[in-house]
Amino acid sequence: MTTDNTTHFGFKQVDEKDKVNLVRGVFDSVASQYDVMNDLMSLGIHRIWKRVAVQLSNVREGEQVLDLAGGTGDLTTLFSKRVGKNGKIVLADINSEMLRTGRDRLIDRGLTDVTYAQVNAECLPFEDNSFDCVCIAFGLRNVTDKDAALRSMYRVLKPGGRVIVLEFSHPTDKITEKVYDFYSFKLLPKIGKLIAKDEESYRYLAESIRMHPKQDKLKEMMQEAGLERCEYFNMSQGIVAVHRGYKF
């Protein structure tokens, strides 16, 4: 974020107050094809990334989990198997279309005890010390004020709780970086046009990944928000990373 009340929307600079609506427009557009596009974009590997993130969360039976930017409910489905009947999961998203799609799909999967909330990650409407785990998967890069969001996540964590950030990140070697750039900027928008009928939204998503903080920078931001023992785990040569931090 810059100091003149503007921020990035992909590679463009926009007013901070406009970004939420611009991001909402992207996800309104892609919600119905979001899961199909995830499978195509990652060749199904996103399911492995999500399982690794849930494994790293160390969520146990009976715990309280906030699945931020939970979208179509993949992480909530995985968490539900861990928390059991005595636990609680809140699936939260700022976008009503994504939240509606996620709710419908979870009900179809037989998950009827999930709580849903339309929230802004920068100012979570939950009490202090409410959750054992706050997870945000492929959503932090779309938040206007990431520092505020991390502070808000820290506030609602219980002592001993952990934040999990699963996000597209930055390749760790030049060859992967070149291949990834070609795929992201040449192929991905065309796939979006063909499948989701929306080339521009997927061009934005590719650009937003490049504007996301690098692994070490995000770790530093988590520490500045108050989280401790922060670390990250690269997957697929750094194309994706899981960051983890604790509240003590």
Taking only the tens place, the pLDDT of each residue in 161-187 is 999 999 999 999 999 999 999 988 888
Quote the pLDDT of residue 188: 83
How far apart are the C-alpha atoms of 223 and 133, rounded to whole Å?
Answer: 16
Contact 178, 149 (CB under 8 A): no
**Segment of 12-21, 178-187, 216-225 carrying the highest mean pLDDT:** 216-225
Averaged pLDDT, 30-55: 80
Number of domains in the chain: 1
89 within domain boundaries: yes
12 within domain boundaries: no
Averaged pLDDT, 133-160: 96
Q: By residue range, what is the domain housing residue 38?
A: 18-172+203-246
3-state helix/strand/coil string of 45-65: CHHHHHHHHHHHHCCCCCCEE
Contact 37, 203 (CB under 8 A): no
Identify the CATH number of the domain in which residue 151 sits: 3.40.50.150
Whose tokens are 């192929």? That residue is 187
- pTM of this structure: 0.87
Written as one letter, the residue type at 3 is T
β-pairing verdict for 88-93 and 131-137: unpaired
β-pairing verdict for 131-137 and 115-118: unpaired
13 within domain boundaries: no
pLDDT tens digits along 32-43:
666 666 776 777
234 within domain boundaries: yes
8 within domain boundaries: no
Among 16-25, 102-111, 149-158, the minimum mean pLDDT is found in 16-25
Label residue 22 left, alpha or beta by phi (over 0 means left) and psi (-120 to 50 means alpha). alpha
* In the chain, alpha helices (H): 16-30, 34-42, 46-57, 74-83, 96-108, 146-156, 174-182, 188-195, 199-211, 215-224
- 203 band by pLDDT with thresholds 50, 70 and 90: confident
185 within domain boundaries: no
How far apart are the C-alpha atoms of 213 and 159, rounded to whole Å?
Answer: 27
**Residue 70 in 3-state DSSP?**
coil
Quote the pLDDT of residue 213: 95
